Amino acid sequence: MFIGDLDKVTSLLLSLSGRLIRVESALDCVDPETGHQERLQLLEKKKQLLAQMGEAQELKEHVDRREQAVGKVLDCCLTPEQLRDYSHFVKMKAALLVEQRQLDDKIRLGDEQSNCFNNLQPHIACIQFHSVLWHGKRYCSV
């Protein structure tokens, strides 16, 4: 039960921090001249995410206290080697969850870049075609 809660809280913190980064990035891109309404919406979203992040931090602190309590109980039930293995398992589980999230984010970014490139290809072909018509140049095709 403790391990499941640790996973959930870690996932929640990662999700909130990712969303917060995207909102802050969107805020940086808002046109100051025309994006007043969009800026207000993003600032409100940032405020909500910061509040949720604070609540998630409190949950994390609670899970950390539970981890210490579970550790004390296991201390009298397990051998020192088993206790080290358990401690290593808990730390690695959280670390692997973070790494998985980072890999998922990189895959998502790669997909977005690929889609962007695929959307640009027809425009590039059109530009090359118009360049041929305008300059009378011919590109070799095999």
Report residue 101 as tokens: 């999230």
pLDDT tens per residue across span 77-91: 999 999 999 999 999
Show the CA angle centred on residue 116, arms to residues 11 and 122, nearest 5°. 160
What is the model's pLDDT at position 43? Answer: 95
Q: Which residues contact 136 (CB under 8 A, 6 or more apart)?
A: none
Find the radius of gyration of the CA atoms of the chain. Answer: 25
Task: Name the amino acid, one letter, at 116.
Answer: C
- Could you read off the pLDDT of 98-121 as tens digits, one per residue? 899 889 888 988 888 787 777 776
d(CA 12, CA 2): 15
C-alpha 89, offset from chain centre: 23
The backbone region for 140, taken as left when phi is positive above 0, alpha when psi lies in -120 to 50, beta otherwise, is beta
Rounded to an integer, what distance in angstroms lies between the CA atom of residue 96 and that of residue 90? 10
Residue ranges for the chain with pLDDT beneath 50: 139-142
Q: Is the pTM of this model over 0.85?
A: no
